Structure 1
Amino acid sequence: MSERATTLGELLAALDHTVATLVDAPAGQDVVLRSVALAEPADLPEHLETVGALPEVYLLVGMDAAATVAWLAGVGRRRLADRPRVLMTKSANDSPEVRAAAHEAGLALVHVHRHARWDQVFALVRRMLARSPGQRAAADDHDLLAPDTDLFGLAQVVARETGGMVSIEDAHSRVLAYSASDGSADQLRIRSILGREGPGDYLRILSEWGVFDRVRRSDEVVEVPEHPELDIRRRLVVGIRRGTDARARILGTIWLQEGDRPWAPDAARVLRGASAVAARIIARRLDAPSTEAVLVRRLFGAHGDGVDVPSVAAALNLPEAGPAAVIGFAPIGPATDLAASRALIRLHASAFREDSVTELLGDRVYVLLPTYHSERGVGSWVRELVAQLEQSRALIVRAAVAAPVAGLTAVAAARVEVDRVLDSPAAASGSRVATLAEARTAVLLAEIIALIRTRPELRDPRLRALDDYDREHGADLRASLRTYLRAHGEVSAAAAVLRVHPNTLRYRLRRAETVLGVDLADPADRLLLDIQLAAAGPDRPADRAVP
């Protein structure tokens, strides 16, 4: 077996029958799985017989029964070794035609609960497929101290040792891992697993009972009594703490639900030990980014050093050659937090391109599309995602697209260009989604003007004479000159904007030429004056800007 492989049986055990139920497995549950894709109908290739290798697990979203049957027929025409192994869907599983087509094609069919969130299921499947055999062995051998033990393995061991059902949550009551459920799982557990977080109404009740306060104050195991009227069974809970003093940081909680049989006598002691192990696991995640995360950060140029592109491409299974696209998402306003929406952006990017790479750097999220079909298609996808973030998450963001990018060697440079667009106030005044080509003029001009503003020696001191004249004579040569230049030298158009007679404007322009010592018929003089006036600002006279 490959070093990175998970069987169908292991995947189903991790998903739990609350989330996913096996409908049929023609090849059994020992089928080895290594790759997964979440796909909508538009993401599926039209001619399955001619495409290359397909992911071994497919999560089909928004696919009706007829379309699913047609897709399975195409899968069945591929060589047996080149077919997917597992199909996970929601409504389509209720169709006898889908079950028959999946069986005929040799695919295991898994029914996903209609209330389960696709983004959470997809993330869990990806994480399970990335687990190494060492992690699974650690859980099977009851070795809680093994370095490779993960939270799912820990939950399984604690459940076996205590005789209950375990869920591990983070400090915000989001479910990180859980053990297998049985028929005695209450509605709280089912809703938490399906929603990947504790129901808000129950969390309020726990807060009113003071459970969270007790967990935060000490490392004691807190008992929560059963409440049949709420369909809540008895529980034990312990905090996952980093540190032992009063300033200890709460990383999460471990919950133990009582089933049809009593807990083991030492259940509280087991929970305390599991809390310490969970703290080490979570701390490792917080302190040490994964190898993949380090490689992705290097690819985006976050560390500022060079990157061995062939090695990174091989490790991340990415094509080295282009055309590629780099997209950056930046928040608008201080209240917008993209960190919480990185998973959603990653989900949509993976649905758009299975081989996409997503990373959070600072307060921005970057997406790499190693290959793409058309620049117009990338732009449409980005605009749809920006609109969806606003509608579903109330997140207001801007995006910049660099495409085409000449392969992985140019990704870091493309990210720098994307940042230049996102940093530019001029680009921000336009569309919420901009390409480098569209924003190039605005970005470069804004950077030139910003440079002039920070470098006094680059400012034209003659503008001081113009402002002195305006102040002494009650004139407005500066505004007249700016309007004339913005009208591309059209006196009539500029005079209309200023609401003066064209001859009046001509007199002002001649006076400005005399005061400044320039010739407005000279293109170089006009260009310099336009840039200098822009750098000074509409209500920042040159005499205020120059020390």
Structure 2
Amino acid sequence: MSRRDRPVSPVPEKTPDNGEIITLRELLSAVDTAVVELVEAPAGDDVVLESVALVDGTDLAAEIESQSPLPDLLLHVGVGKAEAVRWFDRVAQRPPGQRPRAVMSKTAVDSRALQAAARRAGVALVAVHPRARWDHVFPLVQRMLDRSRRLQAGLGDQELLATDTDLFGLAQIVAQNSGGMVSIEDAQSRVLAYSSSDESADELRMLSILGREGPRDYLRVLQKWGVFDRLRKSDEVVDVPAHPKLGTKRRLVVSIRETTEGASASRLLGSIWVQQGDAPLTPDAADVLRGASAIAARIISRTLNAPSTEALLIQRLFGARGGGVDVPSVAGALNLPVTGPAAVVGFAPTATDTAAPIGDFAESGSMLRLHASSFSRDSVATVIGDRAYVLLPRYKSASTVAAWTRQLVDQFETKRSIVLRAAIAVPVTDLGHVAAARAEVDRVLDGTAATFPEGRVTTLAESRTAVLLGEILDLVEQHPELHDPRLDALFEYDTTHSSNLSESVESYLAHYGDVRSAAAAVQVHPNTLRYRIRRVEEIVGVDLQDSSDRLLLELQLALRRRRRRSAPVRG
């Protein structure tokens, strides 16, 4: 069924006044025909959408078996046609109020069986372009529904300006006033928003909207023409001519820059592109772009510097930004169950020779949310500092959560070259204990950093020894009066005589006083090690046959080892 022939409800389910709700029609219009197409709509396209979840094949059965109402919109990721047909038939057996209102699927195109199954279930079916990226579509849908929820709750929109618009609204206004098709990109050339497309959209625009990179030949041409250099260095509007050989049409582009008072240079936030269609651009298109650039800079800066209302609620739920939340209000705003059991998982990036820079981890927040939502549609995730946290309500079992976490850690390393450690806190009895669970997770991540790469995924119960020992060492380090000055004489002796008495005594203690094993570890004769241990006792003034002396010496040596590991390498 084409978009021209799709059924339209004669009367909306709710009257969309003041943009406080979003209908399927409005959502599809924003996502664009290049990405989605409505192929079946038994109840029309004015059904209201308020919630969304991403599910894969392993989640379908659990979704159906659950007695709770399903989200209004489900994104079927990696679900085959036959499997989807069976799922729709089971959905049809549920009461109308417990069915989803729409499903997005990449297998919906040219599948009459799937369309018929959706029609029997009374659920709208939306075909997603096979080349569209789910990690591009899902955050876009979430962002639109999040804005709708904020407006309904009377919280306002963090992205609204005096013109009552956000980036998508701005793109549409620029398109109307410039006569072209608009896309707004961030500084890494990722599409943030765009206006509606028509038949004159070229391949470059289609690929950008699908979340794909533009043709490399064209990117090289832009580099050769100096377009990127001009965008980095100035706020002028750049006229990019058509390139018939590559099939690209004329464009105007302007940078989006943030100028901080007193700063010597402005920061590049992104760019606005206008593609010319069949008709020429308006004479004042360049002026329209200049004005839009200033508005976009305010919107993006506000988004970067102040997270959305929902993001703030999530961070406060985890104990950040002052902490302390009204649990029933947060549960209602985020559509979460108040009581557990739940699980909290924390992720920390680990710098290695082969891993991507730790700073890149913050940009992976949306991908982490995508994976978490695939595992549990109720999940919420946030990045706080250099760590990410996921709340998994109604978790199935501790072993299932651990298996999912290990799989995610492996995927980040193999696909994104980001090496992660993870800690799990279970069970979390209710939302009021999420902040305490995050503190427990942080204890584990702090206490197990020294044992990496062992224990990539662990819990407090599994790593209690390492965690408690690390916290004991923290206390000793924070109180200089707890440092044993007698060890200074040992380290000074090693430095002055180029000896390794400290290494020998560490081996002796590590092997529980077994001289032969300790001597083999440091590759000396047992008699040599015995002599060295006597010298250590003389220099430090301890008796290594005394358990108290041994315990104290082990703690002090462990603290020194940790300091050496954390000391910066000087080249």
TM-score bracket for the superposition, by shorter chain length: 0.7 to 0.9
Amino acid in the other structure paired with 1:272: R
Identity %: 59
1:353 aligns with 2:371: no
Unmatched tracts of structure 1, length 5 or more: 137-143, 541-547
Change in 2 beyond 3 A, CA 1:147/1:409: farther
Distance 2:492 2:41 in 1: 86
State the aligned residue count: 533
C-alpha deviations, 1:137-170, integer Å up to 9, x for none? xxxxxxx964531111122222223332111112
Q: Secondary structure at the match of 1:182?
A: coil
Q: Which residue of 2 aligns with 1:372?
A: 395
Change in 2 beyond 3 A, CA 1:384/1:273: same
Distance 1:394 1:68 in 2: 33
Q: Which residue of 1 aligns with 2:120?
A: 104
Distance 1:268 1:435 in 2: 57
Change in 2 beyond 3 A, CA 1:389/1:515: closer
Which residues in structure 2 correspond to 1:42-121 (within 5 Å)? 42-46=58-62, 48=64, 50-121=66-137
C-alpha deviations, 1:408-464, integer Å up to 9, x for none? 222223323322333344333523222222222112213323443454432445656
Asked if structure 2 preserves the Cα contact closer than 8 Å seen for 1:49 and 1:77, the reply is no
Q: Secondary structure at the match of 1:261?
A: coil
Identify the range of structure 1 (30-39 vs 485-494) with the bigger mean alpha-carbon deviation. 485-494
Q: Which residue of 2 aligns with 1:527?
A: 551
Amino acid in the other structure paired with 1:167: S
Q: CA deviation at 1:517?
A: 7.2
Asked if structure 1 preserves the Cα contact closer than 8 Å seen for 2:21 and 2:149, the reply is yes
Identify the range of structure 1 (236-245 vs 275-284) with the bigger mean alpha-carbon deviation. 236-245
Identify the range of structure 1 (511-520 vs 203-212) with the bigger mean alpha-carbon deviation. 511-520
Residue of structure 2 aligned with 1:187, choices 203, 210, 233? 203
Distance 1:41 1:47 in 2: 10
Residue of structure 2 aligned with 1:306, choices 320, 324, 334? 324
Q: CA deviation at 1:535?
A: 3.4
Q: Which residue of 1 aligns with 2:3?
A: none
Q: Secondary structure at the match of 1:303?
A: coil
Q: CA deviation at 1:120?
A: 0.7
Distance 1:538 1:47 in 2: 48
Asked if structure 1 preserves the Cα contact closer than 8 Å seen for 2:348 and 2:387, the reply is yes
Distance 2:560 2:165 in 1: 62
Distance 2:394 2:366 in 1: 21
Q: Secondary structure at the match of 1:195?
A: coil
Q: CA deviation at 1:497?
A: 5.2
Which residues in structure 2 correspond to 1:239-250 (within 5 Å)? 239-243=255-259, 247-250=265-268
Q: Secondary structure at the match of 2:283?
A: coil
Asked if structure 1 preserves the Cα contact closer than 8 Å seen for 2:150 and 2:309, the reply is no
Asked if structure 1 preserves the Cα contact closer than 8 Å seen for 2:108 and 2:128, the reply is no
Identify the range of structure 1 (491-500 vs 65-74) with the bigger mean alpha-carbon deviation. 491-500
Which residues in structure 2 correspond to 1:126-525 (within 5 Å)? 126-132=142-148, 146=162, 148-195=164-211, 198-243=214-259, 247-333=265-351, 335-336=357-358, 337-424=360-447, 425-453=449-477, 455-460=479-484, 482-489=506-513, 494=518, 523-525=547-549
Q: Secondary structure at the match of 2:61?
A: coil
Change in 2 beyond 3 A, CA 1:489/1:78: same
Asked if structure 2 preserves the Cα contact closer than 8 Å seen for 1:319 and 1:370, the reply is yes
Q: Compute the TM-score of the two structures, normalised by the length of structure 2.
A: 0.83
Asked if structure 2 preserves the Cα contact closer than 8 Å seen for 1:321 and 1:408, the reply is yes
Distance 1:468 1:160 in 2: 77
Distance 1:514 1:243 in 2: 66
Identify the range of structure 1 (219-228 vs 467-476) with the bigger mean alpha-carbon deviation. 467-476
C-alpha deviations, 1:93-127, integer Å up to 9, x for none? 43221111111111111111111001111111112
Q: Please identify the structure whose Cα radius of gyration is greater.
A: 1
Asked if structure 2 preserves the Cα contact closer than 8 Å seen for 1:462 and 1:516, the reply is yes
Asked if structure 2 preserves the Cα contact closer than 8 Å seen for 1:4 and 1:129, the reply is no
Q: CA deviation at 1:203?
A: 2.7
Q: CA deviation at 1:204?
A: 2.7
Q: Secondary structure at the match of 1:45?
A: helix
Q: Secondary structure at the match of 2:468?
A: helix
Amino acid in the other structure paired with 1:63: V
Change in 2 beyond 3 A, CA 1:363/1:200: farther
Taking only aligned residues, the RMSD between alpha carbons, in angstroms, comes to 3.5
Q: Compute the TM-score of the two structures, normalised by the length of structure 1.
A: 0.86
